[in-house]
Chains A and B, each alone.
Chain A
């Protein structure tokens, strides 16, 4: 067995390679997490030595495996989408620890945690806060931390800001040699840091999802538009030049995004037909006159 092969799936180790810190054996991130979830212990499959930390090679994210279960499942869910993102090498000297970030109300941690009190470092599901609010008969629009009663920033504003900006992964603290003694979910800065990482991953995953929906829609537009472009156009069809192609592609695609609310749903919308129809509209606007196609 060569060194650069994941012992679990026997495929070459790629950028998702991750190292068990205690024994140094390397696996694909997904493979070793899948195994640990199955085995219910934290032993290395190769040497059976327990390892409490897993380090993701490319991002230098150090994950505390003892806070296993939900926290890591959330990361695993997100890992698929973030592994595609190009992360800057400037982060390579740093490593972060993902601490426990359970919802302060329901106690679970998953990728849907979306509220975080920056005053007392408590995370929540927005839905849990809303339910609680209804239960206590508080019909106020704003949400409050149920630990320290600090008001959260307005929901719409913060979510739109998060979904539209890509921030650099830039965490404040560096863990060079994590000591197991002072580690715990009570260290506020660590929770703070983990929260930032988690919300970062969430927003990047969201952006990626939107981008992939857009790409799928654009494919339909391009296919329809190619019929009008240069030589590939069948005779009798109106042709467009490169600039017109780009403009029409852009405006038709945008209208289709809005039409489908930024989610690609080929079941309910016939994108080919819609794209053809909108392209005809654009073409007739471009140079009015009968169109033969």
Chain B
């Protein structure tokens, strides 16, 4: 496991330096060079979405059985309003990161890239945020994006979630 992560570290650094296809991944590296099982990533919001112009931080933890087991990846709490992200905890619902859909041929960079694509392509059928999912499902993209922007600009949902309650 250790050597696979070390190799990934080297490969990822190289790809991020040279490959413009991953320019939206601003950073992806272990938190410290001594502990390779905790990584941190920063991604840019995808263009032509409400997330554009914002940066998002991700925490990554890697199990001892990686890559047989998928990595555990989550956004920082209360930073990402998205129908497949639990706003309060930052938990991400992405089937690729499930034990059932994960493949050991994937790596952390491609997982992060998949999360970036998820930002641009919400999956309202397996939502963690019901409100955003409903707006998206009814194709009210204008309202969806406005709500997203409202949160991104510092609007608060409050700890008891009044918006959720008024549904």
Contacts and interface: CB of A to CB of B under 8 A. Distances in A.
Interface of A: 1, 7-11, 31, 34-35, 38, 45-46, 48
B7 A45 contact: no
A7 B3 contact: no
B68 interface: yes
Q: Which 8 A-B pairs have the closest CB atoms?
A: A45-B105, A7-B105, A45-B103, A10-B7, A8-B104, A46-B105, A45-B104, A38-B68
Contacts of A48: 103
A8 B67 contact: yes
Contact of A35 (B7, B8, B104): B104
A10 B1 CA distance: 10
Given A34-B68, A35-B68, A8 B105 contact: yes
16 contacts: A1-B11, A7-B105, A8-B4, A8-B68, A8-B105, A9-B4, A9-B67, A10-B3, A10-B11, A11-B7, A31-B104, A34-B68, A35-B104, A38-B68, A38-B69, A45-B104
Interface in B35-84: 67-69
A169 B118 CA distance: 53
B102 to A, nearest CB: 9
A34 B68 CA distance: 8
A38 B102 CA distance: 11
B13 to A, nearest CB: 14
Given A7-B105, A8-B4, 12 more contacts: A7-B104, A8-B68, A8-B104, A10-B8, A11-B4, A35-B68, A35-B104, A38-B68, A45-B103, A45-B104, A46-B103, A46-B105
Interface residues of B, number: 11
Contacts of A11: 3-4, 7
A1 B103 CA distance: 16
B8 to A, nearest CB: 7
B21 to A, nearest CB: 14
A111 B2 CA distance: 30
A40 to B, nearest CB: 9
A35 B67 CA distance: 9
Contacts of A34: 68
A1 B3 CA distance: 16
Contacts of B4: 8-11
A47 to B, nearest CB: 9
B43 to A, nearest CB: 22
Contacts of B103: 45-46, 48
B3 A9 contact: yes
Interface string B71-99: 00000000000000000000000000000
Contacts of A9: 3-4, 67
A12 to B, nearest CB: 11
A31 B8 CA distance: 17
A74 to B, nearest CB: 20
Contacts of B104: 7-8, 31, 35, 45
Contacts of A45: 103-105
Contacts of B69: 38
Contacts of A46: 103, 105
Interface in B101-139: 103-105
Contacts of B11: 1, 10
B67 to A, nearest CB: 6
A10 B7 CA distance: 7
A189 to B, nearest CB: 36
A155 to B, nearest CB: 40
Nearest to A7: B105
A206 B15 CA distance: 46
Nearest to A38: B68
